[in-house]
Amino acid sequence: MTDLSLQRQYFSEEIRICANVRTAALDALAIIPREQFLPPGPWIIRGEGDAGGSGRATPDADPRHVYHNISVAIDPDRQLFNGGPVAVAPSIDALELKAGHRVLHIGCGLGYYTALMAHIVGPTGRVFALEVDEALAKKAKSNLAAFGWAEVRHGNGTEPLRERFDAIFMHAGVTHPLDAWLDALTADGRLVLPITASMPQMERISKGFMFVITKNGAEAFDARPLNLLAIFTAIGLRDDALNSAIGAALMKGPLAPVNRLRRDSHEPGPACWLHGPTFCLGM
């Protein structure tokens, strides 16, 4: 076993301890070479000690530097980072992926976390990845070429979906789930997405909750908050009215009292944490 392989094993163990991630995602973290899904080093990195800062440069291009719980810059001028694994891996874990599953990943960046999911579902599965930045989509397609069951396209998730998915991972801050995503889930499929509020002073970053939405039969949806987060804001997938409502909901307290998503027409009430025109998250 090479030194780098050992480093990936230690990396996987670090994420297991810090984020309570389970086996399938851990195996992928220990195997997939993160440096192959990043710009060439040296890298600009950001960890918990760099909160609010622009990050710092690694001393050289040794790939061992990226096998820690850090974010690594893809484009620091746009605050675009390959997110820290302790923040992202629990979302992948919550999808409960298995061999043969079909996955939609919206906001794939350069494809690292797409590769983790592709590794988990294996060649009997399928991963369909979308990236709104055309240059990143092109590079992600090249980076994922070894995964014949992974397809990358330029898009933001508003395109018609002509297939069903066991799991959908929205990887940028949105104000609401699209009906098309909910409709595309299989009977027990899972959608993991960040519902966030953005403000002008936050520039491209928005803050809110990552939610896990599980389809329960034909029309019912269970829902739960996974964690608080700050994330790159989605392009073309936000509603200004809902953005204000999310900001107000976040001001109510550090917890989101949510256990279901409703799509039926009803008046907003005390049980509604976030009430939108096509959905409601609440109790």
Query: How far is Cα 170 from Cα 190, in angstroms, rounded to an integer?
Result: 11
Which amino acid would we find at residue 124? T
Domain boundaries, the chain: 85-282
Query: How far is Cα 277 from Cα 259, in angstroms, rounded to an integer?
Result: 19
- Bridge partners, 130 (sequence order): 106, 153
At 132-171, the pLDDT tens digits run 999 999 999 999 999 999 999 999 999 999 999 999 999 9
Question: With contact defined as beta carbons under 8 Å apart, do 12 and 68 qualify?
Answer: no
Q: Count the residues in the chain.
A: 283
Which amino acid would we find at residue 230? A
At 88-116, the pLDDT tens digits run 999 999 999 999 999 999 999 999 999 99
Query: How far is Cα 128 from Cα 41, in angstroms, rounded to an integer?
Result: 28
CATH superfamily of 85-282: Vaccinia Virus protein VP39 (3.40.50.150)
At 255-272, the pLDDT tens digits run 999 999 999 999 999 999
Query: How far is Cα 199 from Cα 207, in angstroms, rounded to an integer?
Result: 9
